[in-house]
Amino acid sequence: MTLDRLGIGAPARIKSVTWDLIAPEEAKRLRALGVDVDSELTVSHRGIFGGGDPIAITLGNMTIALRRSHARAIAVEAL
C-alpha cells in the first residue's frame, strides 16, 4: 500500500521509498525531515479539494505536509 491510500489515524511504517519519483531537492528535504525507510507515521489530515491533496502526516513530534504525488512514491505497511 502507498501512503496516499493510508487511512487517517492508522499507524504505519515506511517499507520503501521510490526516490526516483521525487525531485532530488524534495527527496533531500523529505529525508532531512525524517521521512525515510523504517520511519513510523500516521496520516493526521487531508486537504479539502482534489481527492484529499495535500496530506499531513504525524512523524514523532512533528506534523509534515506533503503532496499526494510524494505520498504515491512511499510504500507503507500498517502496524
Partner 1 sequence: MTRHRTAALVGNPNSGKSALFNALTGARQKIANYPGVTVERKAGRLILPSGEPVELIDLPGAYSLDAASPDEVVTEKAVQGRLEGEVRPEVLILVLDAANLEQHLVFAQEVLELGRPTVVALNMIDLAERDGLTLDSNALEEALGVPVISTVAVRRRGLDELTAAIAAAETHADDAPNPNWHLTLPERRLAAKTMARAAILSRSARHTVANGLDRLLLNPWIGPLILFAFLFVMFQAVFAWATPFADAIDAGFTALSAFVSSEMPQSILRDFLTQGIIAGVGSVVVFLPQILILFFFILIMEASGYMARAAFLMDRLMAGVGLSGKSFIPLLSSFACAVPGIMATRSISDPKDRLTTILIAPLMTCSARLPVYAVIIGAFIPATTVGPGIGLQGLVLFGLYVSGIVGAMVAALLLRGTLTKGAASGFIMEMPRYQLPRLRDVAIGLWQRAFVFLRRAGTIILSATVALWILLSFPQAQPGQSQLDASFAGKIADGIAPVLKPIGFNREIGLALIPAMAAREVAVSALATTYAVDARTEAENDRGLIARLQASWSLPTALAFLAWFVFAPQCLSTIAVTRRETNGWKWPAFMVGYLFGLAYLFAGITYWSAIALGF
Is 24 exposed, middle or buried, given 0-12, 13-18 or 19+ CB atoms closer than 10 A?
A: exposed
Which set of grid coordinates corresponds to residue 39? 520511519
Least distance from C-beta 77 to partner 1, angstroms?
19
Please give the DSSP secondary-structure letter assigned to residue 60.
T
The site map against partner 1 for 17-56 (x = CB under 8 A) is ------x-xx-xxxxxxx-x-------xxxxxxx--xx-x
Does 72 interact with partner 1 (rule: CB under 8 A)? Answer: no
38 is written with which cell numbers? 523504517
Q: Which residues here bind partner 1, judged by CB under 8 A? A: 23, 25-26, 28-34, 36, 44-50, 53-54, 56, 60-67, 69-70
